[in-house]
């Protein structure tokens, strides 16, 4: 198994990386002292986490989540995210409370990693039906309306799931030599074919981006508004979580991201019209109103959602493996770009 590099240089930016890390008993003892909480390894359960190491821990003040960040998270970035979450809570959005240490700081360090403690939101499941997706998109409209009101200075996300089509092509170009150095992998040819097809789709997306995409309304967005980050309890959305990718983007990206992964998760990608009601729940709730350019761009925005991970793969220890993981999505992205009128009618008419 290849060791993860200490740094990745992407598009001129050097980002420190490192493996996901869970807190040890000694880490928990340090965190307990810093926060004035009763934490112990015996009363924790690991929850994994796609990016950060997360454990749930019982305390005398209820259950909390302890999240150990990757090396790329800076204090300034984490404080920005916590400020966003606090202001959204104050506006009535279902966002978990970030717990502060005595004295007010909302993070600490263990083994050179930043750590945050957040309230645990009781829930039964994450979003898993079209009725719940509709509720989630009504909430997304409220979320975007509230984010537009916040008084924050954006600290850009050093790592996210976003690249516009031009950036994604540059990422592929930058890692082409590294990717082509892996021909010994048994599935290399299949991965290379997927990468080449992704490049072709991105080229078509770039044409739209140069025309309409760059003029889409922009603002602060969640950045990872997929079903897995929407907690459900009973018949309601109990919380929207994981603001780690929050940044200033085109607003339609959040909408497209949520629609794409709802269709993927519910196994209904061949029935795009099922996403029509959630989209209109969003449109009814959001201010400023959805624009014609946003509706026109939705198929393009949806198509580029999964292609980010193809573009990113070349920077990772196993670029062939990640490319193969996302290979099935390349065909979907191509279909969306080839059938923009059909998809737009299914979603909007």
Q: Is the Cβ–Cβ distance between 107 and 116 less than 8 Å?
A: yes
- The predicted-structure confidence for 153-201, as pLDDT tens digits, reads as follows 999 999 999 999 999 999 999 999 999 999 999 999 999 999 999 999 9
Average pLDDT, the chain: 94
Domain 7-120 CATH superfamily: Phosphorylase Kinase; domain 1 (3.30.200.20)
Which ranges in the chain belong to alpha helices (H)?
A: 25-35, 75-90, 130-147, 165-174, 176-179, 188-211, 251-265, 276-285, 292-304, 307-312, 319-338, 340-348
Q: What's the sign of the alpha-carbon dihedral 127, 337, 191, 312?
A: negative
Return phi, psi of residue 200, to 5°.
Answer: -65, -45
Residue 255, burial from CB neighbour count under 10 angstroms (0-12, 13-18, 19+): buried
Instruction: Read off the pLDDT band of 308 (50, 70, 90).
Output: very high
Q: Is the Cβ–Cβ distance between 168 and 308 less than 8 Å?
A: yes
Taking the C-alpha atoms of residue 120 and residue 118, their distance in angstroms, rounded to an integer, is 6
Instruction: Provide the pLDDT for residue 52.
Output: 94
What are the residues facing 62 on neighbouring strands?
59
Instruction: Read off the pLDDT band of 291 (50, 70, 90).
Output: very high
Residue % of the chain over a pLDDT of 70: 98
Domain boundaries, the chain: 7-120, 126-348
Question: Which DSSP letter does residue 232 get?
Answer: E
Instruction: Provide the pLDDT for residue 39.
Output: 84
Instruction: Provide the pLDDT for residue 349.
Output: 81
Taking the C-alpha atoms of residue 147 and residue 161, their distance in angstroms, rounded to an integer, is 19
What fold does the segment set 126-348 form as a domain?
Aminoglycoside 3'-phosphotransferase; Chain: A, domain 2 (3.90.1200)
């Amino acid at each position: 198994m290849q060791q993860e590099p200490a740094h990745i240089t992407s598009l001129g930016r050097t980002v420190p990386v490192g493996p996901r890390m869970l807190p040890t008993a000694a880490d928990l003892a340090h965190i307990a002292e810093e926060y004035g909480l009763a934490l112990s390894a015996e009363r924790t359960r690991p929850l994994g986490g796609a990016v950060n190491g997360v454990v749930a821990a019982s305390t005398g003040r209820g259950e909390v989540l302890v999240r150990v960040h990757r090396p790329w998270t800076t204090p300034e970035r984490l404080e920005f995210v916590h400020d966003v979450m606090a202001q959204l809570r104050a506006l009535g959005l279902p966002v978990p409370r970030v717990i502060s240490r005595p004295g007010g700081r909302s993070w600490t360090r263990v083994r050179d990693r930043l750590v945050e403690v957040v309230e645990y939101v009781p829930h039964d499941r994450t979003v898993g039906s079209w009725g719940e997706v509709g509720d989630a998109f009504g909430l997304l409209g409220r979320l975007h309306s509230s984010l537009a009101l916040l008084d924050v200075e954006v600290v850009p996300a050093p790592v996210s799931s976003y690249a516009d089509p031009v950036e994604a092509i540059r990422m592929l170009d930058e890692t082409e030599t590294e990717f082509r150095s892996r021909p010994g992998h048994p599935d290399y040819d299949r991965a290379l074919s997927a990468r080449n097809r992704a490049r072709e789709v991105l080229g078509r997306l770039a044409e739209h981006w140069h025309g309409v995409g760059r003029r889409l309304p922009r603002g602060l967005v969640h950045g990872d508004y997929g079903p897995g980050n929407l907690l459900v309890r009973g018949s309601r959305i109990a919380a929207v979580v994981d603001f780690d990718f929050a940044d200033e983007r085109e607003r339609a990206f959040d909408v497209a991201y949520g629609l794409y992964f709802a269709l993927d998760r519910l196994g209904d990608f061949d029935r795009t019209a099922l996403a029509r009601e959630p989209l209109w729940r969003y449109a009814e709730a959001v201010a400023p109103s959805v624009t014609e350019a946003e509706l026109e761009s939705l198929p393009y925005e949806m198509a580029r959602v999964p292609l980010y991970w193809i573009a990113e793969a070349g920077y990772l220890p196993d670029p062939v493996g990640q490319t193969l993981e996302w290979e099935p999505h390349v065909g979907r992205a191509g279909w969306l770009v080839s059938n923009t009128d059909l998809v737009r009618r299914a979603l909007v008419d």
